[in-house]
Every structure is written in C-alpha cells, then in structure tokens.
Amino acid sequence: MGKHTEQREQKAEATTFMATNGRRQVEKDDDDFVDVDDSSLQTNQANYAWEEEYKRSWDVLQEDEHGSLAGVVNSLQKAAKRKRQLRDTDPIQRGIIRHLFILIDLSNAMQEKDLRPSRLSLTFTYLEAFIAEYFDQNPISQIGLIGTKDGLAEKLTELSGNPTDHIKALKMKKFMETGGEPSLQNALELARNSLIHVPAHGSREILVIMGSLTTTDPGNIHDTIARLMQDNIRASVIALAAEVQVLKFLSTQTKGTFGVAMNEGHYRDLLFEVIPPTAITTTKASANLVQMGFPARCNDSAATLCACHGKLTLGGYKCPQCGSKLCDIPTECDICNLTLVSSPLLARSYHHLFPVENFVEVPWKDAAMTTACFSCQKTFLSPHKVSVQLQSTTDAGRYQCKLCEKTFCTDCDVFIHDVLHNCPGCLSQPRRRAGGVIA
Amino acid sequence: MLFEIDGLPVYFPYDRIYPEQYAYMCSLKQTLDAQGHGVLEMPSGTGKTVSLLSLIVSYQQFYPEKRKLIYCSRTVPEIEKALAELKRLIEYRKSCGLKESILGLGLTSRRNMCLHPSVSKEKKGKVVDARCRNLTAAWVREAAQSGQDIETCSFYEQLENSEIRDEVADAIYTLDDIKEIGKAKNMCPYYMARRMLSYANVVIYSYHYMLDPKIADLISKEMSKESIVVFDEAHNIDNVCIESLSLDIMRPTLESSSKSIAHLSERIEAMKQQGSEKLKDEYEKLVQGLQDTLHAREEDLIMANPALPEDMLHEAVPGNIRKAEHFVAFLKRFNEYLKTRLRVLNVTAETPSSFLRHLKEITYIEKKPLQFCAERLTILIRTLELNNVDELQSLQKVAALATLVATYDKGFMLVLEPYESENATVPNPILRFACLDASIAIKPVFDRFSSVIITSGTLSPLDMYPKILDFKATVMESYPMTLTRNCFLPMVITRGSDQVAISSKFEVRNDPAVVRNFGNILIEFGKVVPDGIVAFFPSYLYMESIIAMWHEMGILTEAWKSKLIFVETPDAAETSIALDNYRRACENGRGAILLAVARGKVSEGIDFDHHYGRAVVMFGIPYQYTESRILKARLEFLRDEHRVRENDFLTFDALRHAAQCLGRVLRGKTDYGLMVFADRRYARQDKRSKLPKWINQYITDTSVNLSTDMGIAIAKKFLRSMAQPLETQAQLGVSLWTLEDVLARQRAQKEKLERAAAQGSVHQQHFLQYGAADAQRLAQDRATGAAYMDVN
C-alpha cells in the first residue's frame, strides 16, 4: 500500500511539472486525477475532438517495471539541465567588454496572460535573474534598460555596470505600467544614440523583448536598421507572441539571434542564451589596449561622500588615477572616466575565451568503468541494477572530460561549466592547464 | 541530379527533390507513355513547373520522336517564370555533358514585344495589334514595294529578308532574350517568335493562343499532332473556354458595326469604279468554296477550329453572299435585326434555334449564309485591302455571333437583359451570347493532340474536369504534401465565441449576430497573427454590405487598433495601390488586413507568401450568384448533357475558388500560414471532400468544428511553434529527397511490387509510396513534439 501511494504522489508531481505545457491542464484538479483510473481516461479522450489537441503529456511517460516514474522524470530533468550545457567551446575571440541595451516592450500587449502570470511580470522576474547572471558572467560589461510604450521610448536606466541599479529600476512600480503600442524605431534610435559613443573595444548590442505584434514608428524603420548595421550594433530579438517580419529582419540584418518563446521555460532559455559573449567576427586588427584601473578597497573611519551617488558612505573603492571614492566596482570613474575593475573580475571573464570543453556522455555499456563522481564522490547508479529496457530510454548520468578522462555526475557537470569554469580533474593533474587549449 | 524512371533518365536541375515531385513525374511519364490525357493536382509551391519541364524535356530528348512540348500558362509573369526554369534546366543538362540542341521560347502579345519606335509606345494591346497590321499586311508591303509612299515596319522587313532558322541558334529564349535578339538583328521579335514556333522544341505561351478560336487559328493550328500540351494553373480552364466563345453585344457595338458596314460598301463602290479585278477573283474563289481548308484538315495538317465546323467546309459559300455588295447588304439586315431586338424592355432568354426561327420570320435570313458570315467577312476584308482592322472589331463580333448562333444549336444560349443591374432605371440593353459548354472550345485540342496534361494546385474533385471538358483521362492523380512540420493549419470555424453559428447562407448572411461574429474573427485574428492577414468574401456586394455593417458596429475601429485595413475594389489601379501599401505595412511591422473578393483579381495570381499572408480567412462559401440566368442555363446544360448535378457543380466551383484563395498563403515548404474557413457549412463532409487532397490531409477532426476562441487558442500555439528555427537537415529524407533517397525508394518499390506480384495482387503504386512517407513524417512529428516538453 505504501508503495502504491508513493506512486500516486509521483504521478501527481509529474502532472504539475508537465502542466506548464498546456494551460488547460492546470485546471485539472490533482486530487481528481489521482482518483481516476488511467484506462477510463483513455475512453474519456474520445468525448470531444478538441480535447485531443491538449496533449496529455503524462501519457508520454512510461512507468518502469517497478511502477515508478522516478527514472523517467529524472532523466527528463537531467536532459533539461544539460541542454544549456552543450555550447560552443571553441577558443575564439569573444568581446568580453560588452555594452548591452535591453529594449522592453511596455505596451498593452504585455498584459496578455499566455505566459504566466503575465508577459510583463514574467519578463521583469526573468530580467532580474538575467541581470544578476549577466554581471556574474560578464563582470566588466554594462547594461542599460529602455522601455517603450504609447509610441515613445524611455530610458529606464543608463548604460552602467552596476547590477543593483538595474534591478532596483526593475522593481520600481512606475516602470511596470503599460500603455498603447510600442515604437521599435524610437527605442532602437534611443539605444543607438547611446551606443555609438561606446569605445571601439567594447561590443554594441541590443536585446529586444517584444510582446506586441505591431510597432508604430515615426519614420521608416528600415533606415534605422541600416544605420544599426553601419554602426556595427548587433540586435537580438525575443518575441513573445509570434514571428514578426520586421523583428526577424532586424535580427538577421544585424547578425543577431531571433527567437519566439514557446512557453515560460523556453523564454528563459532564450533570454539566458544572450549571456555568453558573442564571437567577434570583424577582422579589424587594431591594437586593443584598454586602460583600466584596479582600485583598492578603503575603509574610512568616518563617513565620506562618494563620487558616484554623492552619499555619505563608510567603505568604497579609491580610483587610482584621481583618488575619488566610488561605492562599487566594476564601474567607470565618474570623475576621470577610467574603467575600474578588480583582477578577480577580469579573471572571471577570461573563461569565455577558454571555456571548459563539453563533457562527453558515457553510454551504459561503458558505465561500469567508474563507480563515483570524481568531484563530489557520489556513487553512480550501477548499470547492473538498471534493466536493459530502461537503459534504452535513459542515459547513464555520467559525463567524462575528454582531457583528463575523469567522470562526473550531472550536477557537477553543470556546476563545472556554469560556475566553476575549471575542470577539477585537469587541475589535479600536474602541469596541465585546466580545460585550456592544448597546443 | 540524374535518376531513372522506368528506364527514362531524368535530369533534374536541383540536388534535392520533393517526394511529391518524384511521384508527379512518375504519373506524368505514365500519361505520356499511354499517349493519353492527364489531370494532375499538385500543391502550390512544391515546384510543379520544374518537375513538369524536366520530365517532359528528358522524355522528349530520350525518345526519337522528339515530341514537341507546348506549355500554356495563364499570365505573363507565370510564362516568364516557366521560361526561366526552362533555361536553368537546359543549362543543367548542358553541364551534365549532354550534346543536344533544344530550341525553347515564349510568345506573348505584340504589346510586350514590339520594337517599332512609335507603335511600341501605345498602351493598349488592341491598338498595337492594329497599327502593326497596318504596317505589315501583305497588300501594304506590296504597295510599298511597288514604289508607293506607304510606311512599313523596318523590323518586319528585315525579318522577311532573312532566314530565321539560320540566323538564330538553338537555345532557350525568354521573352527578354527574344527582344534582345530582335534589337541586335533589327528584326521584329514578335514575328520572329511566331516563325520559330513551328520548329521549336518547347513553346511556352498563354492559354488563349490555344483556346481562343480566333487566335489559335493564326498561331497554333500547325503544331504537330504528337505535341505534348500542358495547361498549367488550369483550375479555371472551363471558364476560359467558355469566355473564348461567349459574346456580349451592346448598343454601341451595333452602332459601330453599322458604320463599318457603310464604310465597306463605300469601298466596294470605289473598287468597282476603279474596275478592279479583285472582286471578281474573290467571287471565283468563293465558288470553289473552302476546299483548301478542307484538304488541309483532312490531311491532318492543322487543328480544327470550333468556329468553323466540319460540314461547312464541304460546301461552297452560298450564292446570296458571294457577291461583295450582297454580303454587305446581308450584314446590314442582320445588324438592323439585332438593333430591333435590343429595343425590347423585358428580359428574354432563348436558344439559338428559336433565335434563328424568329430571325427568319422577320428578315428571311437563312441559317446557311449566317454560318459563313465570319469567314466571308475575313475574305472580304482581305479583298478590300482594308487598313485599321481594329475599327471593324464590332462588325467582326456581329459576324462571329452570326456564325456561332447558326452553327451550334446546343451548348449556347442568348440572353437579352435590358438593364445593367437590377436597380438600374436607365435601360442599357445587352445581348449576351453565352457559351454553356466548356468542351466546345477545347475539343479541337483534345482531338488533335495525343497528350494533354491539365495541372494545377487546386483541381479537386478530379473527376469533374473530364466531365465538363468532355474528355477521357488516362491518369488522374492528386498528390498530398509531405512536410517535415505541419506548416499550414487549416481550421473550420463554425461559430462565434457566443456559439452563434456563422454562415454566408442567404437567409442569415445579413443577420447582425452573424456579421458581428465574422467581425470578431477579424478582430481576434488581427490581435494574434503577425504582419499580414488576407480575408476573402464571396462577392463585392456582400463585402460592401458587411463593411458598412462593421462600420456601424464599431468593429472596424476595433480592428484598426491592431492592423491597418485595405480593401480590394473592382478598379484595378485602386487595388494595386492598396496592395502596394498592404505590402509596405507588412514589411515595416505595422501589420495589415486586406479585404478581398474570392473571384477578384487578388484571389488569382497574387501570392501572399511569408509575412505578406500569415493567415487567410475565407468568410463564407464563395458560391456564384445563382440567380444569374446564364449560370442557371449552364447548370441545366451540365445536368442534361454531362449528368453533373446543379448542387455538385456549384459546390465544386465555390470550393475550387475557396481553395485557390486559401492556397495563396502558402508558396513553398519553408513558408507557413493559417487557413481559416469561417462558415458552418465547411464542417460538412460533402464540402470538405471537394477540397484538394493536400489541404484536406491536414484538416484534423480537432480543427473542424471550432468556435472563434478555440480557433484563436490553436492559432497562437501554431504561430509560436512555426516561428522556431527550421533546419534543412531535418527535412532530408522526409520531405526533401537526395538522390540516394530516390534510389532507395525505387528499390523498395520494386521489391514491393515484386512481392505484390508474387502474391497475385497489384496494389496501387501510389499508395505504397505514401504509406511509408506518412509513417515517417508522423514519427518525426512525435519526435519534435517530445523534444519540447518543458521541464521547469
């Protein structure tokens, strides 16, 4: 009996997490569902033709021989975890000093509730996470936010390297108000005007998040797109409703990416794809020396005014060039315009240039070779305990570094590639550069 | 790629081939082998033209008969597209190392091809034709040669003085190429093309050169009997046939023909006074009759002309119209009779025989001389050496009417309508001589050529065409569309969100609830569909009344919020401006709705690919105006003669137009779009079954009986999933074949056939082919669906 209830719970769990796929399923009460026998559900299906449209995603799941779904659910989760992992690991030149403007559509179309809770609030929630992650991965880059509604474009925040400013702005109520229709051209022009003053060593990027299907523009938007191309500004687009020609055109012309969000999870994926810096394709061979300051942290005994906000603070960073005090780094000194960073931040950006290579999935037949994850020492599921049938549908959950040939579990794989950016296996071997390029 | 179909090597100018293209070629080959006629339906945008050309050219070059290909299309841009494909194909064949000389060319009207400095400036096709004739007619040239000061066309003279066959090498010439050569050699491109027709391997021109008896007589009658004739975009071919034999006579027509008659008699007088021998010669010739034509036809040299039936050729021209002045008097009498008929103020409809009887009672004109009218007039014009033939147009029309009415007592009808429209108060009478039988005009084509292929994107139901055109088809085939993703979504919306059934049925079409629900469909789809939406109405009248009602209900204001709205009007210039702006709005992200009419200009020949048409909505079923007398007569005729029930024909006609409209949205496999059928009646099986197979195949049970809100929900999902990037790699092997796939398919098929033969049952080849492809596609769908299950 105990086993039976467990099975039920798992089924219920499966429904709730799959339910994000089709909205209709959310309406189904979990209790009802558990009481209904699967076979009767099958017959119910034939009641209305339109019901078939809403796929019963739980039908896709197959129970293993113990009547448990755990294995399947786990493998699905693992697959999702690893999906973002497999990215390009070629050592190529990437612009790690980035200047990104995010254009947020604040028109009435953003109130639509096809993405829960609504397009707008989901966008703001994701953007907060995005900004934090962006600065974590690109510490010496900058972001600016632009909103567009009622045919106008307005800067929510200026281009700056301080994540807290942006996140604070995103939390402000007045920016959450929507109205009228967006103006893509106005917003692009606004972003362009700020981006053309950016020094040449930094990349110029725009990310457009668009819920509306239309744009009301004062002039010909194709001129604006041509100007963006001229100024080497890359515009990527995430559309929330459908493929709009002008948005697609914008992204293909400026060599950006274009995506339409299928659902909440996909939206997040599309957004986070922007985080790794893009490759530099221009072959302009100029000496790219950038002047930077590495300020020292100072702790004053009495509060002094900071140069950035004009507030009395105790701690801060002192600009090595002009000696003014700033609250946070990375930033640009407000007095002498020197880029201020710290060496750990620079080092962290470095991993984009030499990423850890993708680990290779170990097939079940070779799975017996290792028993535990090299980094967390967790023991792997032994292949002898898993039936052949299940082996065909799941993967072994272990991943191997091609260089040091050490094996890791899924969680460590994700952790190594997302956070650590160094392979522990390679580092533990003497005289071998971690995850680096072998000449 | 190069592959074989039943031993025939086919050169296909692309590396990849769609499965339906392959199947299409197989059927085409069958048709040609059997020397029969074929009806083939293939979805639009799947490369019909190129498969057709590459198979037929391969066939032509492989077999010693070298059967000529005559490819008829509808519009000049389509002809140009076909010529460009042909050019590409021949280049490919050359690059494969084939040494062959193929002459292919296109022909279009003088207006598009003329090089003469002043004539080519004329805007109207008819004026160009007439002015050209004035410069190039035989007697004009004779006069000029004899030293008189008459203008001739230098381009034509140059052509006359040279042998084209030696001058122009065998190659493919597009319309522009011919013009270029003409310019370079100072020769008339139009006549050059016409002379080349007789020995060209591939000829591409408009329907009319084949179907219109007046033109076909000049251009196509000498085409060899073995030629392969293809009618592309042939879904409207019956209407083209009917139009080519129908005539409308109005008061101005008769006035102008009276003038021409007077002019003729003056000329005859003048000629008599000059004592010219010409009239006498003419008389002598007429006594001999039309023997020459008869001989030619008996020897199978030329194609028959439906306006000049067989039995007439055996007889001499009747005595009472042999003399020129007698004939003119005869024409005058007939013309006056028509004038009196037009004075009648009530609607009359009669058959040719009753018309003739009445004619005889009043004017004592017999049937026989009437039959010869058109022929006799042509001879007279030639004898009188008249210029400005375009001025005689009305008279020629009257003469043609005389001939046709006397020749056919079946398949035609005369309708006299005193008022233009029902509400008009000023009489403007029209005598419509309507052809009811589409098979009359096309009969000579079927009789003469052994292989005639009728093909289009929308020909369903296939058995209708052989019936109404009266021919036997050896191969009738409709191809489904193989797709990697379901790139179009047909849905039938039967009721509004308030559950009121919607329909354009006469009883309910102006019901405010129905009109409001139609409007709501427009508003709601305007909100979720990006860029362009095209909405079709059954008729201008209905569209106008609906738009007026929408305006009152505030529906238009609501729709304006998301899209701009453009409307098609009967005026061509206005429509083209609307279309232009519609396209602009689609390009710059503003989005637009185009309201058009199912039988209008927009529904035929204008493509709304990609963002120009992400959705197309068909409001109601585009039935013809059933109260029309001509339509009623035609229905009656079809029922009596071809056993086609009225309702079947009406539904067939309405649905082929609906399919044609909805097909506008999809031009190729990378494109995608929504097709919305907004009428309760589309949900019924009898309507749906008449849609082309490739559309029908994707109408699922789930999308057949929707309310507006359900439709919107499905549309949203569809648009999202279609916007995901599409990789060519995924299509390979399923909806796109490489050479290996073709070979593998052929091997599999061969094995299957052998097995089937062993079992003693021969399955239909086609079914075997598609069974596998469908299963594969389903598997693919499931795989892509599963890939996007979200785990969050």
3-state SS, chain A, equals: CHHHHHHHHHHHHHHHHHCCCCHHHHHCCHHHHHHCCHHHHHHHCCCCHHHHHCCCHHHHCCCCCCCCCHHHHHHHHHHHHHHCCCCCCCCCCECCCEEEEEEEECCHHHHCCCCCCCHHHHHHHHHHHHHHHHHHHCCCCEEEEEEEECCEEEEEEEEECCHHHHHHHHHCHHHHCCCCCCCHHHHHHHHHHHHCCCCCCCEEEEEEEECCCCCCCCCCHHHHHHHHHHCCCEEEEEECCCCCHHHHHHHHHCCCCEEECCCHHHHHHHHHCCCCCCECCCCCCCCCCCCEECCEEEEEEEEEECCCCCCEEEEEEECCCCCCEECCCCEECCCCCCEECCHHHHHHHHCCCCCCCCCEECCHHHHHHCCECCCCCCECCCHHHCCHHHHHHCCCCEEECCCCCCEEEHHHHHHHHHHHCCCHHHHHCCCCCCCCCCC
pLDDT at A328: 80
pLDDT at A190: 95
Residues of A in contact with B786 (CB under 8 A): 60
Fold held by A24-44+90-272:
Rossmann fold (3.40.50)
Distance CA A309, CA A319 (A): 15
Strand (E) or helix (H) holding B72: strand B69-73
Where residue A434 falls among pLDDT bands split at 50, 70, 90? very low
Residues of A in contact with B701 (CB under 8 A): 49, 52
Interface touch B790/A263, C-beta < 8 Å: yes
pLDDT by residue (tens digit) across B672-686?
999 999 999 999 988
**Of the candidates B785, A54, A3, the residue with the CA atom closest to the CA atom of residue A41:** A54
Interface touch A217/B710, C-beta < 8 Å: no
Interface touch A20/B790, C-beta < 8 Å: yes
Neighbours of B527 (CB within 10 A): 20
> Which of B589, B714, B719 minimises the CB distance to A214?
B589
Where residue B210 falls among pLDDT bands split at 50, 70, 90? confident
Interface touch B589/A242, C-beta < 8 Å: no
Residues of A in contact with B593 (CB under 8 A): none
Domain locations in chain A as residue ranges = 24-44+90-272, 292-348, 356-428
Q: Count of CB contacts below 8 A, A vs B?
A: 111
Interface touch A76/B789, C-beta < 8 Å: yes
pLDDT by residue (tens digit) across B15-55?
888 888 999 999 999 999 998 999 999 887 788 889 999 99
Residue of chain B whose Cα is closest to the Cα of A19: B790
pLDDT at A250: 95
Structure tokens at B148: 């008189």
Where residue A70 falls among pLDDT bands split at 50, 70, 90? low
Residue of chain B whose Cα is closest to the Cα of A24: B713
- Residue A90 reports pLDDT greater than 70: no
Distance CA B719, CA A335 (A): 51
- Residue B740 reports pLDDT greater than 80: yes
Residue of chain B whose Cα is closest to the Cα of A222: B588
pLDDT at A25: 39
Are A297 and A342 in contact by the 8 Å Cβ rule? The answer is: no
Structure pTM?
0.82
CATH placement of domain A356-428: 3.30.40.10
Q: Regarding predicted confidence, which is higher, B611 or B790? A: B611
- Residue B776 reports pLDDT greater than 90: no
Q: What's the average model confidence in pLDDT over B638-655? A: 90
Q: What's the average model confidence in pLDDT over B375-402? A: 83
Give the lowest-confidence range in A112-126, B132-146, B706-720: B132-146
Q: B599 to chain A, minimum CA–CA distance in Å?
A: 28
Q: What's the average model confidence in pLDDT over A414-418? A: 83
- Residue B701 reports pLDDT greater than 70: yes
pLDDT by residue (tens digit) across B410-465?
889 999 888 877 777 788 888 989 999 998 889 888 988 889 999 998 888 888 99
pLDDT at B120: 86
B705 touches chain A (CB under 8 A): yes
Where residue A185 falls among pLDDT bands split at 50, 70, 90? very high
Of the residues A243, A248, A410, the best mutation for testing chain B's interface (the one with the most B CB atoms within 10 Å of its CB) is A243
pLDDT at A184: 94
Backbone Cα Rg of chain A: 26
Q: B789 to chain A, minimum CA–CA distance in Å?
A: 7
- Residue B169 reports pLDDT greater than 90: no
Give the lowest-confidence range in A228-242, A274-288, A310-324: A274-288
pLDDT at B293: 65
User: Using the 8-state DSSP alphabet, how is residue B640 labeled?
Assistant: I
- Residues of A near B (Cβ–Cβ under 8 Å) read 17-18, 20-21, 49-50, 52-53, 55, 57, 60, 76-77, 79-80, 114, 184, 213-217, 220-222, 239, 241-247, 249, 260-266, 268
Residues 584-613 on B with a CB inside 8 Å of A are 586-591, 610-611
- Residue B774 reports pLDDT greater than 90: no
Residues of A in contact with B530 (CB under 8 A): 213, 241-245
Give the lowest-confidence range in A234-238, B221-225, B641-645: B221-225
- Residue B722 reports pLDDT greater than 50: yes
Cis peptide before A139 (omega within 30 of 0): no
B367 touches chain A (CB under 8 A): no
Residue of chain B whose Cα is closest to the Cα of A61: B786
Residue of chain B whose Cα is closest to the Cα of A221: B588
- Residue B725 reports pLDDT greater than 70: yes
Interface touch B720/A60, C-beta < 8 Å: no
Residue of chain A whose Cα is closest to the Cα of B782: A60
Distance CA B707, CA B213 (A): 50
- Residue B489 reports pLDDT greater than 50: yes
> Which of B710, B788, B791 minimises the CB distance to A50?
B710
Strands B592-597 and A98-105: unpaired
Q: What's the average model confidence in pLDDT over B361-370? A: 88
Interface touch B611/A21, C-beta < 8 Å: no
- B558 CB contacts (<8 Å, ≥6 apart)? B519, B523
- Residue A263 reports pLDDT greater than 70: yes
pLDDT at A73: 64
Interface touch A247/B589, C-beta < 8 Å: yes
- Residue A23 reports pLDDT greater than 80: no
Q: What's the average model confidence in pLDDT over B392-396? A: 87
Interface touch B702/A217, C-beta < 8 Å: no
**3-state class (DSSP) for residue B133:** helix
Q: A294 to chain B, minimum CA–CA distance in Å?
A: 40
Determine the residue type at A27: E
Neighbours of B428 (CB within 10 A): 14
Give the lowest-confidence range in A228-242, B477-491, B767-781: B767-781
User: Using the 8-state DSSP alphabet, how is residue B677 labeled?
Assistant: E
Strands B532-537 and B488-495: unpaired
Residues of A in contact with B610 (CB under 8 A): 245
Q: What's the average model confidence in pLDDT over A130-152? A: 90
pLDDT by residue (tens digit) across B226-274?
889 999 988 889 998 998 889 899 899 999 999 999 988 988 888 888 8
Q: What's the average model confidence in pLDDT over B507-535? A: 93
B787 touches chain A (CB under 8 A): no
Residues of A in contact with B789 (CB under 8 A): 18, 21, 57, 60, 76
Where residue B614 falls among pLDDT bands split at 50, 70, 90? very high
Determine the residue type at B341: R
